[in-house]
Chain A
């Protein structure tokens, strides 16, 4: 059988989906986080720059602004601050008055940089701030202060932050994949069981039950699957039973065609042959011969019809078409009916009946039971030597009535003790038999006993002969 192969498993699909969602959420979240951090870095930087410049402009008076000494002192203090590239002072006309640090413009007053551009342009490594200086009455501008702040450390901070974020991002992604793989695996593993069970159903094995671990949809599917497969298995079993039965019936039919047809060939030859012989005037048969042949034709016809009706009976019983009509039966009546069927006297056989007082009545189909006993006794009589005896004993078992028919004939070899109950079985090379039977008597007896739920067997009757024993169980 061609088994479907999973190329892209559902687990892989779900993990991939989780991965993509995780990737999106993590990237979006962490970039927002990075932007926030960078903005704060920039804000801090700009606030510091403005604070430094503002602090000095506020402390400066118009008088002090004119003192070179004071400006130089201020410049020194500013330059002592960390991360200050330069500082410069201009008068009200924006003409340079003093400068310190790495001030590279050619005396022109720098313009304040746009604070927004500070982060977007990492190549600009200097941030310029220029503020007007007012007089003490805050009325007119007396000059300007300009200062430059290197942005290198800011950019470093941003880069470092981005590295941290990237590390967090990768770590989180790995955790997402690993955990989703494991968690999804646990969720999906019942599906795997269902898949395997289904595949074994494909090979005709209905015995695999899927463990129902959870009460979620998969659990419900597993439960439903189990009951479905159970039903399916039952149906399959029933179907194959029916199929088997059909095959048996078909086999029986061909058995009929070969064995039965075979058994009808000899009587047909005799009937047709003697009829033809009788009508052949050239043979000049005498009256005794004519009478004999007519008798043979009648006898063979009777034998044939007995054989056919026996065969139909055993087939009906075996196929369940004829069911026993059970009722209370007196064992004595059955025994009397059986002994009345046979002519023991002319066969010089003594027939004895021995009934246990506890086994006076049983529940059975009287007609069938009588037939079974008749066939067994008839079989014993057929092989019984002259001046021998046949005994029918009816006794009680624990939950059944036991019928035993014993004879003192030649007995039955061990290898035939099973076979004799088979249809069409006849003792080979049997000389005591004047007329061949149908080979169905014991088969019918067995079918009847089985129909009543009992067992039949044959054992040796020491020192000579055999004993047929069958049981009819009590009706519960």
Chain B
């Protein structure tokens, strides 16, 4: 099954960059340019995305609040969130990772191929070479 990604960023060029690369990796891409739009799209969609890529400084509702609402809603709380932002202060990371319980926190600038590997891993497209029963890496 094709993975679905929701990209939430107000910078169209960033959206374009991420979209073209994720599509190239076989993802179905949906986008939102502000927090409000992102939440509306999430609530309206029949099939929830497998992962949300979220900027922090967004118009209307900021990224932290969007993440908090996604994680508070039972319908969407299990969707992994990757935060992608220019805010690099330790406090920002605490806000994102601890307060808003996002799954990964990336600061710009990013290396696209590295970022794609994370997206694939978090969205479950690649499961990782892990023994499901013991939850341990199998001995070679």
A residues at B contact (CB < 8 Å): 258, 261-263, 265-266, 268-270, 272-274, 276-277, 280, 282-283, 285, 289, 296, 300, 428-429, 431, 436
Given the known A-B contacts A258-B89, A262-B86, are A272 and B20 also in contact in the complex, defined by CB atoms under 8 Å? Answer: no
User: Is B77 interfacial (CB 8 A cutoff)?
Assistant: no
Q: Top 5 A-B pairs ranked by shortest CB distance?
A: A265-B108, A265-B86, A268-B109, A283-B24, A269-B109
Q: Smallest distance from the beta carbon of B32 to chain A beta carbons, Å?
A: 15
Residues of B within 8 A of A429 (CB): 59-60
Give chain A residues whose Cβ lies under 8 Å from the Cβ of B107.
Answer: 265
A-B contact pairs, 7 of them (CB 8 A): A265-B88, A269-B14, A270-B17, A272-B110, A273-B112, A277-B20, A277-B21
Judge whether A277 and B112 touch: CB under 8 Å: yes
Known: A262-B88, A266-B14. A283 touches B20 (CB 8 A): yes
Can you name 4 extra interface pairs (CB under 8 A) apart from A262-B86, A276-B112? A265-B107, A266-B11, A273-B17, A429-B59
Residues of B within 8 A of A428 (CB): 59
Chain A residues, Cβ within 8 Å of B88: 261-262, 265
C-alpha spacing A393/B87, complex, angstroms: 42
Q: Which residue of A lies closest to B55 (CB)?
A: A266
Give the A-B pair count, Cβ closer than 8 A. 58
Q: What's the minimum C-beta distance from B60 to chain A, rounded to whole angstroms?
A: 7
For B129, the chain A residues whose CB sits under 8 A away are: none
Please, which residues of chain B bring their CB within 8 A of the CB of A280? 21, 24
Query: Which A residues touch B87, using CB under 8 A?
Result: 262
Q: Which of B24, B86, B112 sits near A266, CB closer than 8 Å?
A: B86
- A431 to B109 Cα, complex, angstroms: 24
List, in ascending order, chain B residues with CB within 8 A of A263's CB: 86
Candidates A261, A265, A277; contact of B17 at CB < 8 Å: A277
A285 and B20 alpha carbons, distance in the complex (Å): 9
Main secondary structure of the interface of A (DSSP, over half): helix
Contact, CB under 8 Å: A300 / B13:
yes
Inter-subunit contact A272/B111 (CB<8 Å): yes
Q: Which residue of B lies closest to A289 (CB)?
A: B20
Contact A296 B21 (CB under 8 A): no
Interchain CA distance A283-B112 in the complex, whole Å: 13
Name B108's contact: one of A269, A282, A285 (CB within 8 Å): A269
* A369 CB, nearest partner CB in chain B, Å: 34
Q: Does B113 touch A at the CB level, under 8 Å?
A: yes
What is the CA–CA distance of A352 and B20 in the complex, to the nearest angstrom?
44
* A108, B48: Cα distance in complex, Å: 157
Q: Which residues, 1 to 60 on B, are CB-close (under 8 Å) to A?
A: 11, 13-14, 16-17, 20-21, 24, 59-60
Considering only residues 96-114 of chain B, those with a C-beta below 8 Å from chain A are: 107-113
Q: How far is the CA of A82 from the CA of B16 in the complex (A)?
A: 144
Residue of A nearest to B89 (CB): A258
CA of A106 to CA of B88 in the docked complex: distance in angstroms?
Answer: 132
User: Is A266's CB under 8 angstroms from B108's CB?
Assistant: yes
Q: How far is the CB of A111 from the nearest CB of chain B, in Å?
A: 120
Say whether A273 contacts B110, CB under 8 Å: yes
CB <8 Å contact, A270 and B14:
yes
| CB-defined contacts of A276 to chain B, threshold 8 Å | 111-113
Nearest-neighbor residue (CB-CB) of A272 within chain B: B109
> CA A133 – CA B113 in complex, angstroms?
154
Give the complex CA separation of A280 and B43 in angstroms: 35
Closest to A280 in B: B24
Shortest CB–CB separation between residue B53 and chain A, in angstroms?
13
State whether A269 touches B21 (Cβ < 8 A).
Answer: no
Bound form: Cα–Cα A431–B60 in Å = 11
Bound Cα distance A266, B16 (Å): 13
**B100 CB → nearest A CB, Å:** 20
A274 and B12 alpha carbons, distance in the complex (Å): 13
Please, how many angstroms separate the alpha-carbon atoms of A428 and B60 in the complex? 10
Q: How far is the CA of A275 from the CA of B112 in the complex (A)?
A: 10
Residue of B nearest to A436 (CB): B11
CA distance A296 to B14 in the complex (A): 11
Contacts of A277 in B (CB 8 A): 17, 20-21, 112
B130 to chain A, nearest CB (A): 26
A258 to B88, CA, bound (A): 9
Q: Give chain B residues whose Cβ lies under 8 Å from the Cβ of A274.
A: 17
- Rounded to whole angstroms, the CA-CA distance of A149 and B89 in the bound complex is 118
Chain A: CB-nearest residue to B20: A277
A296 to B110, CA, bound (A): 17
> How far is A276 from B108 in the complex, measured between Cα atoms in Å?
15
**Min CB–CB distance B110 → chain A (angstroms):** 6
C-alpha spacing A457/B11, complex, angstroms: 31
Given contacts A269-B14, A276-B111, contact A283 B86 (CB under 8 A): no
A81 and B57 alpha carbons, distance in the complex (Å): 132
* CB-based contact B109/A283 at 8 Å: no
- Note all chain A residues with C-beta closer than 8 A to B108: 265-266, 268-269
Could you tell me which residues of chain B, from 74 to 126, have a CB within 8 Å of some CB in chain A?
86-89, 107-113
Inside 8 A of A268's CB, which chain B residues have their CB?
108-109
A410: shortest Cβ distance to chain B, in Å? 16
Please name the residue on chain A nearest to B9 by beta carbon.
Answer: A266
A258 / chain B contacts, CB cutoff of 8 Å: 89
Q: Bound complex: CA of A285 vs CA of B16, how far in Å?
A: 13
Residues in A with CB closer than 8 Å to B16 are 296
CB distance from B6 to the nearest CB of A (A): 19
B13, B59, B86, B110: most-surrounded residue (chain A CB, <10 A): B13
- Chain A residues whose C-beta falls within 8 Å of the C-beta of B110 in the assembled complex: 269, 272-273
When distances are taken between beta carbons in the complex, the residues of chain B under 8 Å from A436 are 11
Closest to A299 in B: B13
Nearest residue (CB) in B for A284 is B24
